[in-house]
Amino acid sequence: MASAKPSAGSRPVSPHLQIYSPLVNMMMSIVHRITGGALYFGTLLLAFYLVSAASGPEAFAYASWLFSTPIGLLILFGYTWVLLHHMLGGVRHMIWDTGRGFDLATVDKLCWGSLVGSISLTILVWAIAILL
């Protein structure tokens, strides 16, 4: 393992990402990791919101204004989807952790389900937010 320098051409190379057509399970796996990474830094938004609320009315008004700008709303909308998608992806992985749902038809269903579910839930959450 110490000298794992790939010398291209001399040895056969395992097929990598660029050779596969993008299947839904592969895409959802990648997106799960990306959304996880986004949520990692997204906690800064939660910290910002909580600190501004704890700091007083002026700070809170500023944070509220920031979140109500078009860019702020776009970030919050994206945050909502990222959070819900990672959440449903996590549920999918919990199902797989039990050893169930590994036949191809179920894998596809679970992956499409998490995508469709996260988009639907995001729209539902925002519809409730707007109607409230």
72 Cβ contact list (under 8 Å, min separation 6): 66
Q: Are 129 and 47 in contact (CB under 8 A)?
A: no
If the CB atoms of residues 50 and 74 are measured against another protein, the closer one turns out to be: 50
Instruction: For residue 92, count CB atoms less than 10 angstroms from its CB and return exposed for 0-12, middle for 13-18, buried for 19 or more.
Output: buried
CA angle, 100 then 105 then 111, to 5°: 75
Asked whether position 115 contacts another protein by CB under 8 A, the answer is: no
Asked whether position 87 contacts another protein by CB under 8 A, the answer is: yes
Q: Are 39 and 83 in contact (CB under 8 A)?
A: yes
In the complex, what is the shortest distance from the CB of residue 13 to another protein, in angstroms, rounded to a whole number? 17
**Within positions 26 to 55, which residues make up the interface with another protein, using CB under 8 A?**
33, 36-37, 39-40, 43-44, 46-47, 50-51, 53-54
Asked whether position 74 contacts another protein by CB under 8 A, the answer is: no
Task: Enumerate binding residues for another protein (CB under 8 A).
Answer: 33, 36-37, 39-40, 43-44, 46-47, 50-51, 53-54, 57, 60-61, 80, 83-84, 87, 90-91, 93-94, 97, 125, 128-129, 132
